[in-house]
């Protein structure tokens, strides 16, 4: 039999955590999920939507492994609450390409051997797509600066830079 937790001093029954429906548009599909208001977007994606491509690295916004696109702009999903993005267009790595048809950035990462362990790669690619959406980075120095929020613990930065630069140089508006 399941017992309700009680407060040790008073014996009062603890209230269940508040949850409510949150409507999230992820990779072009609307989802309604019951979430506590303090659930991060990262945890909503990974734990409730089973979209595990977005990685939990530091959980403090310092590594960029959790980068996703919200309305085309890159954000650290560990630093924002899911309820703040009701109705926003959220794109994860799963929404950028398929196994049969890789996104141009995904193909460039393969072509330039821009990953080793691959843990940071989804965040790197989402950040690079955000960089393309912003249209601000054209030189290698600008790309390095704009991608500096995404860390690669394996040190694959040479390949990452080459991959992003290739897609930037093609001048395509990729989505």
Which pLDDT does position 1 carry in this prediction? 47
Q: Which two tokens stand for residue 139?
A: 């030189």
Number of independent structural domains in the chain: 2
Q: Where are the alpha helices (DSSP H) in the chain?
A: 41-43, 104-111, 121-134, 140-146, 157-170
77 with 44, same domain: the answer is yes
Q: Is residue 175 part of a domain?
A: no
Q: For 138-170, write each residue's pLDDT tens digit.
A: 999 999 999 999 999 999 999 999 999 999 999
- Structural domain boundaries enclosing 86: 20-95
66 with 86, same domain: the answer is yes
Q: Is residue 37 part of a domain?
A: yes
Q: For 82-119, write each residue's pLDDT tens digit.
A: 999 999 999 999 999 999 999 999 999 999 999 999 99
Q: Is residue 13 part of a domain?
A: no
Q: What is the domain-level CATH number for residue 149?
A: 1.10.150.120
123 with 162, same domain: the answer is yes
Domain boundary among 95, 125, 153: 95
56 with 110, same domain: the answer is no
Q: Which two tokens stand for residue 27?
A: 């990779």
Domain boundary among 95, 125, 140: 95
- pTM listed for this prediction: 0.88
78 with 130, same domain: the answer is no
Q: For 59-81, write each residue's pLDDT tens digit.
A: 999 999 999 999 999 999 999 99
Angle, CA 114 vertex, CA 110 and CA 118 arms, to 5°: 90
44 with 81, same domain: the answer is yes
Let me know: does 133 contact 69? Beta carbons within 8 Å: yes
30 with 77, same domain: the answer is yes
Domain boundary among 36, 63, 95: 95
73 with 131, same domain: the answer is no
Q: What is the domain-level CATH number for residue 41?
A: 3.10.20.30
Q: Is residue 160 part of a domain?
A: yes
CA distance 28 to 89: 7
129 with 148, same domain: the answer is yes
Paired strand residues for 33 = 22
Which pLDDT does position 140 carry in this prediction? 97
């Amino acid at each position: 039999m399941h017992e309700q937790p009680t407060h040790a001093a008073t014996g009062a029954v603890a209230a269940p955590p508040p949850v409510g429906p949150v409507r999230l548009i992820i990779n072009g599909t609307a989802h309604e999920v019951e979430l506590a208001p303090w659930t991060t977007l990262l945890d909503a994606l990974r734990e409730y939507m089973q979209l595990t491509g977005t990685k939990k690295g530091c959980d403090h916004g310092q590594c960029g492994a959790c980068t996703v696109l919200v309305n085309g702009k890159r954000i650290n999903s560990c630093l924002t609450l899911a309820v703040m993005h009701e109705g926003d267009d959220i794109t994860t790595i799963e929404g950028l390409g398929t196994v049969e048809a890789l996104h141009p950035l995904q193909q460039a990462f393969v072509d330039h051997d821009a990953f080793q362990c691959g843990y940071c790669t989804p965040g790197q690619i989402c950040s690079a797509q955000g960089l393309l959406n912003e249209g601000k980075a054209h030189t290698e120095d600008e790309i390095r600066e704009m991608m500096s929020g995404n860390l690669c613990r394996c040190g694959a930065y040479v390949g990452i830079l080459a991959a992003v630069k290739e897609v930037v140089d093609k001048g395509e508006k990729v989505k």
